[in-house]
Amino acid sequence: MAKFLSVVTSIKIEEFQYLELKNTELDSQYLDEKLGRLDIKLKLKNGQKINIEMQNILFDYYEKRTIFYTSKLLINDFEKGEKYQELKKTISINIVNQKFTKSNKVHSIFQILEKEERTPLDDVMEIHFLDLTKLGNKKETDLEKWLQFIKTDDNKKRKELSKGGMKRWKKHIQ
């Protein structure tokens, strides 16, 4: 999993050596507050948080749900009295198997940007969409190989994909 996350986020693989799998429930402060449950929630040794979601059907509210979950994860574990500079980067990775219409790319990355100049406000939140429906048959990049591996349910094809460059990473996906 570490190599896959490194390929998606461009974070050095060494940062994933001390991955901590966290409780997937998003905390709420109030009894009547909306709750959330993540598929996979990780914390890096530097405090950055990563949420991985896999979705076969994209409901019309999926983008808003992703923003909600990312925002909740950002402030999760942020204690009263802490300085805002101590907020740790939060990354959401959405692997979707239905056409994501907000982008024509296989891998889209969203951040908070100034509307005209496109300059980032801050990099504290980052939302990735990996659209399996936009994959071709080519397997040129590491990311495309990983996504083909995730997408296929054909064991023969999965074995073929694990040869070559992915073979040495296979142990990280189990």
In this predicted structure, what is the pLDDT of residue 112? Answer: 95
Q: Give the up-direction half-sphere exposure of residue 73: CA atoms within 13 A in the CB hemisphere.
A: 33
Mean predicted confidence (pLDDT) in 50-70: 91
**Domain boundary assignment for the chain:** 2-134, 139-174
pLDDT tens digits, one per residue of 139-167: 678 999 889 888 888 888 888 877 754 44
Which of 50-54, 113-117, 142-146, 151-155 has the highest average model confidence (pLDDT)?
A: 113-117
Instruction: State the SS3 of the chain.
Output: CHHHHHHHHCCCHHHHCCCEECCCEECCCCCCCCCEECCEEEECCCCCEEEEEEECCCCCCHHHHHHHHHHHHHHCCCCCCCCHHHCCCEEEEEEECCCCCCCCCCEEEEEEECCCCCCEEEEEEEEEEEEHHHCCCCCCCHHHHHHHHHHCCCHHHHHHHHCHHHHHHHHHHC
Neighbours of 2 (CB within 10 A): 18
In this predicted structure, what is the pLDDT of residue 172? Answer: 43
Q: How confident is the model at residue 33 (pLDDT cuts 50, 70, 90)?
A: very low
In 3D space, the residue among 76, 89, 75 whose CA is nearest the CA of residue 123 turns out to be 89
Q: What is the mean pLDDT of the chain?
A: 82
Mean predicted confidence (pLDDT) in 97-116: 95
pLDDT cut 90: percent of the chain above it:
48
pLDDT at 26 over 50: no
In this predicted structure, what is the pLDDT of residue 155? Answer: 84
C-alpha distances in Å from residue 118, one per residue of 16, 124, 174 = 30, 16, 38
pLDDT at 36 over 60: no
